[in-house]
Amino acid sequence: MEESKASKVTPVAIEANESKLIESAQEGDSVAFGKLVRIHQKRLFRFIYGMIGSFDQAEDIVQDAFVRAYKAIDSFKPGFAFYPWLARIARNLALNLIHREEKKESLDRLTEQGFDPATNSLGPFENLLDAEGKKRFYEALKAMPAKNRSVFVLRQFEEMDYASIASYLKIPPGTVDSRLHRARSFLLEALGDLLE
């Protein structure tokens, strides 16, 4: 019993530890930055995979985001949360990729590779869909317009409230609501037969 009490870490302790790691990273400590990577890697991957739908591309973007964050760590302002800053870097990289892919080829030709649903939990939809349903869900998500997909992913995967999404994307709350409605309608139309 005593061991489990001692092993519990409070959010305040996590935040204080993260602040120390950021401070050390800003002083050039790459080991401290490596610890930040380990803390946020899985969550960031889930977020980007939700936007992109490709395991390999999501891995590349997450890795690139961490490299860019490391190079720009001096510009990070202490006292702010690290993850939103990091997620913004990754989100911009993901949106750039989406725009390039939309110009280059049809989204239908993009394929998922390497995703093992048994070892990766990617959000509340996982329990509703079998393997084929998951594949169709991510195909539909990829086919969704990027502006609607961003709002949907932030709401469903990151569990952000409307005000936070509006602030994050720099759009009015009413726009968040309408884009989320369009995203859900798009998915219902694409996946309606799975819900019957």
- Residues 61, 92 within the same domain: yes
CATH number of the domain encompassing residue 93: 1.10.1740.10
End-to-end CA distance of the chain: give it in Å, rounded. 47
What region does 123 belong to: left with phi over 0, alpha with psi -120 to 50, or beta?
Answer: left
The domain boundary, picked from 115, 135, 160, lies at 115
**Predicted confidence (pLDDT) per residue in 77-125, tens digit:** 877 888 889 988 998 888 888 766 655 543 343 334 333 434 444 444 4
Question: What is the pLDDT, as a whole number, of residue 89?
Answer: 92
Decide if pLDDT at 8 tops 50: no
- Residues 50, 103 within the same domain: yes
- Taking the C-alpha atoms of residue 110 and residue 148, their distance in angstroms, rounded to an integer, is 19
pLDDT, greater one: 135 or 55: 55
Residue 1 forms part of a structural domain: no
What region does 145 belong to: left with phi over 0, alpha with psi -120 to 50, or beta?
Answer: beta
Percent of the chain with pLDDT over 90: 8
Q: The pTM is what?
A: 0.55
**Predicted confidence (pLDDT) per residue in 137-166, tens digit:** 778 888 888 888 888 888 887 778 888 888
Q: How many domains does the chain have?
A: 2
- Residues 189, 137 within the same domain: yes
The domain boundary, picked from 95, 115, 135, lies at 115
- Find all residues with CB under 8 Å of 84, minimum gap 6, and list them: 168
- Residues 125, 137 within the same domain: yes
- Residues 59, 134 within the same domain: no
Decide if pLDDT at 21 tops 50: yes
Question: What is the pLDDT, as a whole number, of residue 188?
Answer: 82
Q: Would you place residue 62 in the very low, low, confident or very high pLDDT band (cuts 50, 70, 90)? A: very high
Domain of 142, in residue numbers: 116-196
